[in-house]
């Protein structure tokens, strides 16, 4: 039995992580966008953290999927099951009544109109009376504290798991945008490829992510004496020459080399988006700079590198990882503005 008061809800349905914000409670759920089901019965056996633990380890009888991989809904049914499970968990955690609440869902920019409607239906079936769909960059901009309703343009670069979404926003709408299918997951792949090529070491995706989170960087740090300051971390994998397990000390400089091409793609995307914007707005951005959000936006020194390459001021959002979820939550406060933001989805087209 659910009890308590009805609260509005904001959901960040991300390719890597799903976050749920509940009015007056803040973020009540933050779990990997992963779901596991039994193949023969189609029964859901795990969602979120426990499902992520099963990734890469499940026997043939179990499917463990990331249903939003690559920034599109790659497994429609599983996405809906996962969303249902997360909404349910958030309702229980926040002791909210499962009826007549309003929901804003932030979705990856790659999803289709049909998929948006399906997301809406799932939320309604869970008891929502009004559902608004916001595209992630708009939600990220709001959650990063940007003044999206101002005539003065602002810019957000949201680097998630599957996509990097770059958007220039003014007057509550998206003026220019680019979505690149290259983000955190591809950064991991790049690290795997680098380790193989440089050290003949085959590492798993999780090890690659561990290296990225702990010693990943877009620029190597220098001390006051001008010498490089390097972080190190152990990487365990299989030696491709002997076939045996091996441990190697990896440095942040390795990460710099491994991530260089990926980072360059993000920078190119930023430049391309600025070129698409009307000159007055591009001029605003040179004054306002841009904000980085999403898990990938937290890569060390990525802000500095973008500043160096574009000449613009770059800031990492205070709550980069939570920006989209916070943005969905904040947007619930002003229904008129929310309708405008949701309508902005339809009027712009990603290239
Ligand atoms: P999505 O919106 O697609 O769900 P997120 O914004 O949750 O994605 O970001 C997930 C990605 O961010 C993952 O690839 C993860 O490895 C990466 N990530 C998380 N924290 C960090 C960090 N501190 N440094 C670099 N990458 C990070
Ligand atoms: Mg995201």
Residue 106 CB less than 6 A away from ligand 1: no
Q: How far is the CA of 165 from the centre of ligand 1 (A)?
A: 13
**Other CB atoms within 10 Å distance of the CB of residue 309:** 17
Ligand 1 atom with the smallest distance to the CA of 162 is: 3
CA distance 341 to 156: 15
DSSP 3-state of 256: helix
Ligand 1 atom with the smallest distance to the CA of 294 is: 6
DSSP 3-state of 20: strand
Q: Is 131 left (phi over 0), alpha (psi -120 to 50) or beta?
A: beta
Nearest CA to ligand 1 atom 8: 160
Q: Which of 141, 161, 209, 299 is the best mutation target for the ligand 1 pocket, counting ligand atoms within 8 Å of the beta carbon and taking the most?
A: 161
Cβ contact 253:230 at 8 Å:
yes
Residue 5 has which token pair? 């008061």
Residues of the chain with pLDDT under 50: 1-2, 346-351
Q: Which of 212, 295, 326 is the best mutation target for the ligand 1 pocket, counting ligand atoms within 8 Å of the beta carbon and taking the most?
A: 295
Looking at residue 69, what is its pLDDT? 84
Q: How far is the CA of 321 from the centre of ligand 1 (A)?
A: 7
Ligand 1 atom with the smallest distance to the CA of 163 is: 3
Task: Return the CA Rg of the chain.
Answer: 21
CA distance 307 to 315: 9
Looking at residue 97, what is its pLDDT? 72
Cβ contact 349:177 at 8 Å:
no
Cβ contact 141:169 at 8 Å:
yes
Residue 296 CB less than 6 A away from ligand 1: yes
CA distance 163 to 157: 10
- Written as one string, the DSSP assignment of 184-199 is HHHHHHHHHHHHHHHH
Residue 110 CB less than 6 A away from ligand 1: no
Q: How far is the CA of 184 from the centre of ligand 1 (A)?
A: 6
pTM, rounded to two decimals: 0.93
Q: How far is the CA of 304 from the centre of ligand 2 (A)?
A: 22
Looking at residue 345, what is its pLDDT? 65
| End-to-end CA separation in angstroms for the chain | 47
Q: What domains can be seen in the chain, in order of their start residue?
A: 9-140+323-343 (3.30.420.40), 146-182+263-321 (3.30.420.40), 184-259 (3.90.640.10)
Q: How far is the CA of 16 from the centre of ligand 1 (A)?
A: 7
Residue 182 CB less than 6 A away from ligand 1: no
Residue 160 CB less than 6 A away from ligand 1: yes
Of 167, 105, 205, 116, nearest to 293 by C-alpha is 167
CA distance 152 to 328: 22
- Written as one string, the DSSP assignment of 277-336 is S-HHHHHHHHHH-EEEESGGGGSBTHHHHHHHHH-S-EEE-TTGGGHHHHHHHHHTT-HH
**Other CB atoms within 10 Å distance of the CB of residue 317:** 26
Query: Which ligand ends up closest to the CA of 183?
Result: 1
Q: Which of 20, 144, 296, 322 is the best mutation target for the ligand 1 pocket, counting ligand atoms within 8 Å of the beta carbon and taking the most?
A: 296
CA distance 136 to 281: 21
Ligand 1 atom with the smallest distance to the CA of 18 is: 4
Query: Which ligand ends up closest to the CA of 32?
Result: 1
* Predicted confidence (pLDDT) per residue in 279-316, tens digit: 999 999 999 999 999 999 999 999 999 999 999 999 99
Of 286, 319, 261, 7, nearest to 139 by C-alpha is 319
DSSP strand E in the chain: where?
9-13, 17-22, 26-32, 35-38, 44-47, 62-65, 101-107, 128-135, 154-159, 164-170, 173-180, 201-202, 221-222, 228-229, 232-239, 245-251, 290-293, 314-316
């Amino acid at each position: 039995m659910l009890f308590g008061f009805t609260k509005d809800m904001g959901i960040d349905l991300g390719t890597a992580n799903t976050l749920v914000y509940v009015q007056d409670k803040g973020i009540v759920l933050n779990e990997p966008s992963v779901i596991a089901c039994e193949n023969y019965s189609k029964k859901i056996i795990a969602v979120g953290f426990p499902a992520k633990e099963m990734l890469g380890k499940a026997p043939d009888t179990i499917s463990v999927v990331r249903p939003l991989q690559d920034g599109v809904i790659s497994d429609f049914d599983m996405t809906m099951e996962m969303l249902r499970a997360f909404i349910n968990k958030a309702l229980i955690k926040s002791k909210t009544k499962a009826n007549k609440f309003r929901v804003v869902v932030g979705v990856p920019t790659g999803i289709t109109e049909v998929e948006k409607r399906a997301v809406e239906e799932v939320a309604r079936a869970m008891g929502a009376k009004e559902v608004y769909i916001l595209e992630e960059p708009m939600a990220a901009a709001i959650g990063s504290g940007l003044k999206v309703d101002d005539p003065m343009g602002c810019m957000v670069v949201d680097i998630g798991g599957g996509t990097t979404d770059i958007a220039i926003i003014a007057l509550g709408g998206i003026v220019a945008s680019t979505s690149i299918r290259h983000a955190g997951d591809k950064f991991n792949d790049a690290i795997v490829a680098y380790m193989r090529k440089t050290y003949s070491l085959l590492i798993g995706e999780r090890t690659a992510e561990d290296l990225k989170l702990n010693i990943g960087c877009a620029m190597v740090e220098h001390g006051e004496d001008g010498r490089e300051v390097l972080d190190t971390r152990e990487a365990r994998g299989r030696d491709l020459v002997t076939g045996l397990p091996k441990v190697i000390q990896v440095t942040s400089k390795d990460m710099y080399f491994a991530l260089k091409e990926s980072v360059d793609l993000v920078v190119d995307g930023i430049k391309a988006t600025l070129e698409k914007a009307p000159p007055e707005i591009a001029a605003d951005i040179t004054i306002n700079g841009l904000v980085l959000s999403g898990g990938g936006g937290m890569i060390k020194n990525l802000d500095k590198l973008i500043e160096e390459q574009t000449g613009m001021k770059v800031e990492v959002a205070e709550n980069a990882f939570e920006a989209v979820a916070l943005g969905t939550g904040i947007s619930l406060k002003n229904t008129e503005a929310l309708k405008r933001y949701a309508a902005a989805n339809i009027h712009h087209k990603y290239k």
